[in-house]
């Protein structure tokens, strides 16, 4: 089957029909040549308002000429459209010639009617005869008067509608027969006076007619709609009830004429908006000429019961009083003019959040214009863009026209302070230069502290005419911190959203007399100002300052310094901390050739100069021999500029070079280390103040400070020291003493040390006083011999359980855990030990024992043998203890071993061998 893309559309014939008539659109069928079911239909109208998907939809003929378009689509998606035009029949009003008849039963009046389109045939009838005998020609509209006075209603209907017996396409008008005064009709519904229309809320009768056929009417039952055009952008519409109206009219339909129209009203109508102004209509008096020209005025009383926005932060405050008038200008429309000269107490104000920051008051001009100057209102405070702001000063001229939604601002100026800026204390003053709806701002700093710095200078501020402060930024200001000797030049500064979030500077400054070269200092959120800086220490030195911060409170952190110096043959690196007014710390480095060094360093600054001091130590693994007995195993040195190490303080112009010398005997028995003073021209001796160690190698029996003299060429070192003695040397568990003043001597034959006023501890428990005499021979590798003697004094609370598992909780537990003889004791004794010792010292400790006498007392749990008490049970009682014991040490515990005698309150006694460990 061959498909076709042609569609035959029959939308129906163009028709002229009476409005309200039901008709069907489309042909029979509307589309072909295929079956009508193979098509889809879409009807729409021009003008719009109608749509249908039926092939033959039914419509009601509208009041205006309408084009109906049908779009048809076949099963292949091909679409075509056609249209049909439906024209309504419009029947105009009836004219009577003459307009009324005498009640003589013979006079004739010819009725005529017009229609669109023309050429229509009409059927005439009397629709309301009022009981009269008047007649009318059905086809010609000739009216014969009645024999009695009457008012009849004549009807003219389109013949087609009459034949179809549909109530459409007709018009009706009254004609008076008899005295015209008696023929004035009752009126109801709408009455037109040109453009002005009134609605009668109830039917009214005429108050009579004058000789020219005008009927007079008067009523206070009128509803009136008024428009007031001009000035305001949209007309103001008023609906009124209870209007008093009077007028004269004659004729009907298109022939009606009126005169002497008067409308009056007084009262209080609902509040309405006139632009931003609120008012009530309180009076009206109008007249309408026979040609429809409206004259008169309406009066309004201001009722400003609430504030009204005027755009942005401006508003019209409540409290405006007075009134205004609208006067109609004798035209056939609602045109007129307003007079606002009676509007008083206008207040325009600026409002931010809930704060009134400025206002201006006065009266409106007759043309609805208000000129004023805004001034500050009680230094109001408001919030803007994260800031707390206060208006200190304001002068701003403006013009406001009642029918505009915005105030027209002119030139002005203001000063606003902002405070509570995060990361700051104090406030910033911002000067506003106002130009209409634009603003320029300058921020002035004189009362702001940021990170402890007083900010000075001024910057551009990004502001707007609504007093919002969006941003303060720039670089031409200074910051002065009280701990720094000069101001910082700020090269990045930014305040937004209520926070100082950019704060950056660099340059040279002095902090606590130390000269810093700051390469970058910038705000880091939640940390404060982080400073990257260097310290100027000589041409070959490099210093980096670390952990240098200033908190939001302005507190400077404990600064650390990384120092690096390379000056042949010495290279050093140091990490230092800032203490008081100088850097102190440790360093490490090397000397050309691979020798590692380390030591202490001090770097600081006085008012006019910097200073530094470096102390080094160097370990030499084997040392080098300088004689048959003496060798040097350690060297040290000092270097300083503008520094006196003897008083540990800066001294301008003082330069220091010094050494540290370590001396041992060849056998490593004794070692001396100290500062060396080299006297040029006198090389016979070196005087040392430093340290003595015995033996020279670790661990040391004793180690202490010394004063010594080394006689060059004799290999003889002698002096005195205040040292600490440890036996064994590795931990001092046996003996740990302070020697007091101890003399020593080292020569080719050996060494010896003596001390008389010794104090210390034996076995970490016993306090002692005594003396020692120790000596060693050259060549004896670490050997030591001598005596240690003295007295002991010892007090201690000792826990005693005998036997080891004795349980004195009750008689049963005691019987199961006592000794064979039935004795058991459990408790804490306060023991006091006394005695003397005289021992021989050797490299591992000492030989001999320490005799001690023990006595003490306590309240304990005790079970006495039945032979003594005849009561086989446990008592809690006072018990004394005494006896002789020997003290020893096993490397972990102090041990007391011997016989102790226990004596009870009831003369019970028991002696037992006891071993105590603690």
Which pLDDT score is estimated for 784? Answer: 61
Q: 774 pLDDT band (50/70/90 cuts)? A: low
User: Which run of H or of E encompasses 811?
Assistant: helix 811-817
Q: Tell me: the pLDDT tens digits for 363-377?
A: 999 999 999 999 997
pLDDT greater at residue 504 or residue 909: 504
pLDDT greater at residue 601 or residue 913: 913
- Within 10 angstroms of residue 445's Cβ, the number of other Cβ atoms is 23
Q: 413 pLDDT band (50/70/90 cuts)? A: very high
The Cα-based distances of 822 to 326, 587, 804, 825 in angstroms read 130, 71, 14, 10
Residue 194: is its pLDDT beyond 70? Answer: yes
Lookup: tokens for 380? 């109001």
Query: What's the rounded mean pLDDT across residues 107-127?
Result: 91
Residue 593: is its pLDDT beyond 70? Answer: no
Torsion of CA 355, 323, 233, 272, to 10 degrees: 80
Which pLDDT score is estimated for 267? Answer: 93
Q: Are 612 and 582 in contact (CB under 8 A)?
A: no
Q: Tell me: the pLDDT tens digits for 513-528?
A: 777 788 888 888 888 8
Residue 668: is its pLDDT beyond 70? Answer: no
Which of 156-170, 534-548, 809-823 reaches the highest mean pLDDT? 156-170
Residue 302's DSSP bridge partners are 279
The SS3 call for residue 816 is helix
Lookup: tokens for 697? 């190698």
Q: 443 pLDDT band (50/70/90 cuts)? A: very high
Which pLDDT score is estimated for 136? Answer: 94
> What is the distance between the terminal CA atoms of the chain, rounded to a whole angstrom?
122
Percent of the chain topping pLDDT 70: 72
Which pLDDT score is estimated for 685? Answer: 44
Residue 569: is its pLDDT beyond 60? Answer: no
Residue 686: is its pLDDT beyond 50? Answer: no
Which pLDDT score is estimated for 339? Answer: 95
Phi-psi category of 142—alpha, beta or left, where left has phi over 0 and alpha has psi -120 to 50? beta
Query: What's the rounded mean pLDDT across residues 399-409?
Result: 89
Judged on CB neighbours under 10 Å (0-12, 13-18, 19+), 13 is: exposed
Q: What is the mean pLDDT of the chain?
A: 79
- Up-side HSE of residue 728: CA atoms within 13 Å toward CB? 11
Query: What's the rounded mean pLDDT across residues 587-608?
Result: 68
In terms of DSSP bridges, do strands 408-419 and 142-144 run parallel, antiparallel, or are they unpaired?
Answer: unpaired
Which pLDDT score is estimated for 363? Answer: 95
DSSP state of 214: P
Residue 634: is its pLDDT beyond 80? Answer: no
The SS3 call for residue 895 is strand
Which pLDDT score is estimated for 659? Answer: 47
- Up-side HSE of residue 719: CA atoms within 13 Å toward CB? 26
Mean pLDDT is lowest, of 167-171, 779-783, 795-799, 836-840, for: 779-783
In terms of DSSP bridges, do strands 79-88 and 15-17 run parallel, antiparallel, or are they unpaired?
Answer: parallel
Mean pLDDT is lowest, of 161-170, 774-783, 904-913, for: 774-783
Q: What is the DSSP string of 11-67?
A: ----EEE-TT-EEE-S-SSSEESS-GGG-EEEEEEESSS-EE-SSS-EEE--SS-EE
Q: Are 55 and 42 in contact (CB under 8 A)?
A: no
Which pLDDT score is estimated for 628? Answer: 44
The Cα-based distances of 756 to 475, 669, 774 in angstroms read 75, 22, 12
Which pLDDT score is estimated for 683? Answer: 33
Residue 40's DSSP bridge partners are 73
DSSP state of 182: G
Which pLDDT score is estimated for 549? Answer: 81
Query: What's the rounded mean pLDDT across residues 825-852?
Result: 65
The Cα-based distances of 870 to 83, 865, 866, 867 in angstroms read 141, 8, 4, 6
Which pLDDT score is estimated for 583? Answer: 72
Q: Are 879 and 808 in contact (CB under 8 A)?
A: no
């Amino acid at each position: 089957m061959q498909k076709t893309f042609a569609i035959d559309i029959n939308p129906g014939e163009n028709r002229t029909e009476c409005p309200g008539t039901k008709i069907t659109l489309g042909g029979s069928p509307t589309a072909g040549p295929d079956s009508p079911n193979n098509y889809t239909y879409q009807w729409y109208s021009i003008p719009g308002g109608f749509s249908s998907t039926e092939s033959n939809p039914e419509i009601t003929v509208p009041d205006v000429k309408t084009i109906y378009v049908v779009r048809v689509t076949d099963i292949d998606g091909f679409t075509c459209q056609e249209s049909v035009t439906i024209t309504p029949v419009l029947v105009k009003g009836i004219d009577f010639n003459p307009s009324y008849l005498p009640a003589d039963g013979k006079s004739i009046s010819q009725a005529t009617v017009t229609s669109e389109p023309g050429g229509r045939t009409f059927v005439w009838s009397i629709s309301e005869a009022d009981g009269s005998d008047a007649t009318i020609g059905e086809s010609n509209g000739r009216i014969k008067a009645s024999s009695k006075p009457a008012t009849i209603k004549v009807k003219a209907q389109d013949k087609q509608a009459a034949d179809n017996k549909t109530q459409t396409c007709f018009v009706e008008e009254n004609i008076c027969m008899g005295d015209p005064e008696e023929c004035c009709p009752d009126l109801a519904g709408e009455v037109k006076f040109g453009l002005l229309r009134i609605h009668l809320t109830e039917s009214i009768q005429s108050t009579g007619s004058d000789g020219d056929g005008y009927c007079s009417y008067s009523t206070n039952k009128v509803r009136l709609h008024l428009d007031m055009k001009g000035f305001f952008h949209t007309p103001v519409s008023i609906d009124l009830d209870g209007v008093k109206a009077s007028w004269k009219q004659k004729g009907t339909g298109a022939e009606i004429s009126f005169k002497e129209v008067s409308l009056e009203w007084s009262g209080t109508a609902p509040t309405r908006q006139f632009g931003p102004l609120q008012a009530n209509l309180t009076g009206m008096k109008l007249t309408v000429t026979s040609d429809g020209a409206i004259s008169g005025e309406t009066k309004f009383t201001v009722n400003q019961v609430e504030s009204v926005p005027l755009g942005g932060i401006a508003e019209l405050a409540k409290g405006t009083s007075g009134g205004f008038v609208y006067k109609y200008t004798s035209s056939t429309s609602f045109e007129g003019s307003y007079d606002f000269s009676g509007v008083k107490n206008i207040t325009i104000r600026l409002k931010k959040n809930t704060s009134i920051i400025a206002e201006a008051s006065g009266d409106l001009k007759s043309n609805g214009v208000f000129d004023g100057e805004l001034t500050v209102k009680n230094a109001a405070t408001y919030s803007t863009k994260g800031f707390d702001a206060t208006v200190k000063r304001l002068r701003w001229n403006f013009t406001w026209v009642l029918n505009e939604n915005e105030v027209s601002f002119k030139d002005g100026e203001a000063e606003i302070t902002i405070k509570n800026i995060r990361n700051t204390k104090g406030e910033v003053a911002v000067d506003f230069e106002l130009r209409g709806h634009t603003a320029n701002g300058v921020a002035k700093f004189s009362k702001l502290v940021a990170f402890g710095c007083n900010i000075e200078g001024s910057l551009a501020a990004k502001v707007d005419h609504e007093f919002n402060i969006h941003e303060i930024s720039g670089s031409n200001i200074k910051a002065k911190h009280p701990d720094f000797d000069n101001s910082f030049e700020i090269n990045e500064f930014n305040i937004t959203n209520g926070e100082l979030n950019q704060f950056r500077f660099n340059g040279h400054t002095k902090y606590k007399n130390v000269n810093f070269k700051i390469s970058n200092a910038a705000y880091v959120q939640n940390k404060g100002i982080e400073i990257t800086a260097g310290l100027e220490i000589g041409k070959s030195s490099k210093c980096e300052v670390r952990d240098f911060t200033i908190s939001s409170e302005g507190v400077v952190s404990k600064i650390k310094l990384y120092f690096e110096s390379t000056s042949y043959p010495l290279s050093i690196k140091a990490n230092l901390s800032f203490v008081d007014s100088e850097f102190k710390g440790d360093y490490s480095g090397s000397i050309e050739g691979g020798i590692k060094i380390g030591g202490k360093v001090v770097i600081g600054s006085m008012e006019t100069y910097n200073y530094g001091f470096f102390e080094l130590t160097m370990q030499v693994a084997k040392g080098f021999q300088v004689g048959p007995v003496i060798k040097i195993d350690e060297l040290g040195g000092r270097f300083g500029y503008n520094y006196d190490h003897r008083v540990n303080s800066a001294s301008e112009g003082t330069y220091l070079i010094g050494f540290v010398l370590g001396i041992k005997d060849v056998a490593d028995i004794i070692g001396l280390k100290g500062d060396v003073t080299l006297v040029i021209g006198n090389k016979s001796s070196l005087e040392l103040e430093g340290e003595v160690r015995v033996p020279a190698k670790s661990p040391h029996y004793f180690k202490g400070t010394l004063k010594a003299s080394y006689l060059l060429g004799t290999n003889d070192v002698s002096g005195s020291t205040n040292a600490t003695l440890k036996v064994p040397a590795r931990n001092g568990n046996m003996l740990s003493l302070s020697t007091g003043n101890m003399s020593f001597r080292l020569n080719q034959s050996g060494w010896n040390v003596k001390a008389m006023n010794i104090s210390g501890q034996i076995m970490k428990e016993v306090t002692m006083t005594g003396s020692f005499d120790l000596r060693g021979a050259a060549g004896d590798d670490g050997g030591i011999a001598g005596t240690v003697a003295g007295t002991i004094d010892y007090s201690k609370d000792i826990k005693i359980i005998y036997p080891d598992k004795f349980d004195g909780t009750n008689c049963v537990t005691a019987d199961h855990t006592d000794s064979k003889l039935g004795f058991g004791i459990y408790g804490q004794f306060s023991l006091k030990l006394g005695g003397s010792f005289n021992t021989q010292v050797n490299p591992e400790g000492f030989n001999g024992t320490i005799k001690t006498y023990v006595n003490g007392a306590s309240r304990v749990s005790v079970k006495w043998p039945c032979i003594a008490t005849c009561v086989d049970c446990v008592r809690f009682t006072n018990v004394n203890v005494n006896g002789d014991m020997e003290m020893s040490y096993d490397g972990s515990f102090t041990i007391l071993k011997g016989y102790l005698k226990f004596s009870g309150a009831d003369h019970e006694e028991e002696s037992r061998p006891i071993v105590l460990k603690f």
